[in-house]
Amino acid sequence: MNTIKRASLCSNLLLLLMFPLVSWGHVHLDKSIPAKGEAVSPAPESVQLWFSGGVETDWSKIEVRNTDGARMDDGEINRINDDQKTLRITLKPLPVGIYKVKWNIVAHDGHRIKGNSHFSVK
């Protein structure tokens, strides 16, 4: 094998080292408002979630509950500025206290992602 062929083979193998980075994983939560563990004032009017990929509104669920387990959201999920990677749920007026957020989301690839968070109103 001549030098050019060897160099070509080595450079191909080196390029291949970057190959693993191309695989696509599942969608995950990028950001939420209120953020996990955040203490906010005044009380938020909605919980907003930003994901790493597109998510479905029709097949996803978000629940916001107080410490007694009562639902504090209106049950209707919509998007923020029509962005396919976002979900928002409007809240009832929240008194001071701790609130748990649970989401059970369907991503555009048809996979389900579950997660939870909490925030408090001070």
For another protein, give the closer residue by CB, 23 or 41.
23
Q: Which residues contact 47 (CB under 8 A, 6 or more apart)?
A: 32, 33, 34, 62, 64, 73, 88, 89, 91, 101
Q: Is 13 in the site for another protein (CB under 8 A)?
A: yes
Specify the amino acid at residue 120: S
What minimum distance in Å lies between the beta carbon of 67 and another protein? 26
For another protein, give the closer residue by CB, 20 or 37.
20
Q: Rounded to a whole number, what is the largest CA-CA distance in the chain? A: 77
Give the C-alpha separation, 73 to 17, whole Å.
Answer: 47
Sign of CA dihedral 66, 71, 73, 79: positive
Contact pick of 43, 102, 109, 117 for another protein (by CB under 8 A): 109
Q: Is 84 in the site for another protein (CB under 8 A)?
A: yes
Q: Is 26 in the site for another protein (CB under 8 A)?
A: yes
Q: Is 79 in the site for another protein (CB under 8 A)?
A: no
For another protein, give the closer residue by CB, 24 or 122.
24
Specify the amino acid at residue 37: G
Positions that interact with another protein (CB under 8 A): 1, 5, 9, 12-13, 15-28, 52-54, 56, 58-59, 84-85, 104, 106, 108-112
